[in-house]
């Protein structure tokens, strides 16, 4: 199971085709939109922003 | 293409998002950072909830630019709310500048705003209007694609309108996008629509960052969660705070300069903020 760096969702489908190799590592995405977004702003997603309230649980990324 | 902000949380001054931050909504009305045309001067609006008075929000709109309206700035400096939307407008060609065309739009307890364009709207407008029940059709006051998309949302939300959860609002947004896309396909509209919609009932928010073609970068949309805005010695930032003081902000552009305050909403995802301020993001499935 991997985490989509753009939306935070869990992804596990290597066959989906939504993957990219960046700095020697393969990253998986949930959709074409998230893959394209990563390719536009890779630096932003490689160093995720610091949470404004560290220690609190991250709710986003789970499915509704 | 407009800009907007939305807030849900503990009561704050509307000015804390509208006029005080380094990249406040009012600043974005004359110098937006993340769109090629920096002016958003075709009017503005603010809608806020005062639940101790009524569940229906108060809405104030004007066709003046936000930066020059002293009433707007004065009102924002003297009004506290735990739930509000505000929008500055750059009117699309053919969509008249009038108060009824200013966002946010209100229906009952709901507020709606849009950043983007429903492409080929004129080609699907009659079909959309014909699909509406009378009470929703009769509530349309203006001429914009945005207000018509809201009317379609209200129809698809159906009976849930009076008792909505964040998930209901999100489902309504996704269904609205699917219906607009189906009509666009049938009308052979090839240009992609850009639909950053936001809706609230004052207790929950749902918002989408959407473009028809996932290869195209959608309009920017960010969120900041569970902090509170603070302006100290001219420096504005989102700071850690206790749960009683916290809130969630959605915004077309980052309001503060510290990038760590903000996360982008992923393209073609729907974001929800529930009454407990839990933020969830999920993919909009393709039809
Ligand atoms: Zn994703």
Q: pLDDT (tens digit, 9 = 90+) per residue, B153-183?
A: 999 998 776 678 999 999 999 999 999 999 9
A52–B283 CB contact, under 8 Å: no
Q: Does A40 reside within a domain?
A: yes
* Cis upstream peptide for B242 (omega within 30°): no
Per domain, the residue ranges of chain B are 3-283
Centroid of ligand 1 to alpha carbon of B287 (angstroms):
17
Centroid of ligand 1 to alpha carbon of B271 (angstroms):
12
Question: Which residues, in sequence order, are bridge partners of residue B12?
Answer: B81
Domain count across chain A: 1
Residue entry with tokens 């489908």: A13
* Candidates A33, A37, A53; nearest CB to B226: A53
- Among left, alpha and beta (phi > 0; psi -120 to 50; other), residue B215 is alpha
Interface predicted TM-score of the whole assembly (ipTM), two decimals: 0.81
Please say if the pLDDT value at position B34 is more than 90: no
Cα(A17)–Cα(B7) distance, rounded to whole angstroms?
A: 37
**Which one is the CATH code of B3-283: 1.10.3720.10, 3.30.2010.30, 3.60.20.10, 3.90.480.20?**
3.60.20.10
Centroid of ligand 1 to alpha carbon of B162 (angstroms):
32
Q: Does A6 reside within a domain?
A: yes
Question: Which residues, in sequence order, are bridge partners of residue B4?
Answer: B87
- Tell me the mean pLDDT in the region A17-41: 92
Q: Helices (H) and strands (E) in chain B — how many of each?
A: 7, 14
Per-residue confidence band for B231, with pLDDT thresholds at 50, 70 and 90: confident
Q: Does A54 reside within a domain?
A: no
CA distance B248 to chain A (A): 11
Angle between helices B145-157 and B166-186 (to 10 degrees): 120
Q: Does A60 reside within a domain?
A: no
- Tell me the mean pLDDT in the region B181-192: 96
A9–B279 CB contact, under 8 Å: no
Q: If residue B267 lies in a helix (H) or strand (E), which one and from where to where?
A: none
* Catalytic residue check, B232: no
B225–A60 CB contact, under 8 Å: yes
Please say if the pLDDT value at position B150 is more than 90: yes
Q: Is B282 on the interface with A (CB under 8 A)?
A: yes
Q: Is B279 on the interface with A (CB under 8 A)?
A: yes
Cα(B165)–Cα(B210) distance, rounded to whole angstroms?
A: 21
Q: What is the pLDDT of residue B112?
A: 98
Cα(B79)–Cα(A4) distance, rounded to whole angstroms?
A: 40
Say if residues B55 and B202 touch (Cβ distance below 8 Å). Answer: yes
* Candidates B226, B268, B271; nearest CB to A56: B226
Cα(B284)–Cα(B269) distance, rounded to whole angstroms?
A: 5
Range of A12's domain? 2-46
């Amino acid at each position: 199971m991997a985490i989509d760096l753009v939306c935070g969702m869990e992804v596990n489908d290597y066959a989906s085709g939504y993957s990219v190799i960046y700095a020697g590592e393969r990253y998986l995405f949930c959709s074409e939109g998230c893959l394209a977004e990563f390719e536009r702003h890779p630096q932003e997603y490689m160093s995720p922003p610091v949470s404004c309230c560290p220690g609190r649980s991250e709710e986003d990324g789970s499915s509704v | 293409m407009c800009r907007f902000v939305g807030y849900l949380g503990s009561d704050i001054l509307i000015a804390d998002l509208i006029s005080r931050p380094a990249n406040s909504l009012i600043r974005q009305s004359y110098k937006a950072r993340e769109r090629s045309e920096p002016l958003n001067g075709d009017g503005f609006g603010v809608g806020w909830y005062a639940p101790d008075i009524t569940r229906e929000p108060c809405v104030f709109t004007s066709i003046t630019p936000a930066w020059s309206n002293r009433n707007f700035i004065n009102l924002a400096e003297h009004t506290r709310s735990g739930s509000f939307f505000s929008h500055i407008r750059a009117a699309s060609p053919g969509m008249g500048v009038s108060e009824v065309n200013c966002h946010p739009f209100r229906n009952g307890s709901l507020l709606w705003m849009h950043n983007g364009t429903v492409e080929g709207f004129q080609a699907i407008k009659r079909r959309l209007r014909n699909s509406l029940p009378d009470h929703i059709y009769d509530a349309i006051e203006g001429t914009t694609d945005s207000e018509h998309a809201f009317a379609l949302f209200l129809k698809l939300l159906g009976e849930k309108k009076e008792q909505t959860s964040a998930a209901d609002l999100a489902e309504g947004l996704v269904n609205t996008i699917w219906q607009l896309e189906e009509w666009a396909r049938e009308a052979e509209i090839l240009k992609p629509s850009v639909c950053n919609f936001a809706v609230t009932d004052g207790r929950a928010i749902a918002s989408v960052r959407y473009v028809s073609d996932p290869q195209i970068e959608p309009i920017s949309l960010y969120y900041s969660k569970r902090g509170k805005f603070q302006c100290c010695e001219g420096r504005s930032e989102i700071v850690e705070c206790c749960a009683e003081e916290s809130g969630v902000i959605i915004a077309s552009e980052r309001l503060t300069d510290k990038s760590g305050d903000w996360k982008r909403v992923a393209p073609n995802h729907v974001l929800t903020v529930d009454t407990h301020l839990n933020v969830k993001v999920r993919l909009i499935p393709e039809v």
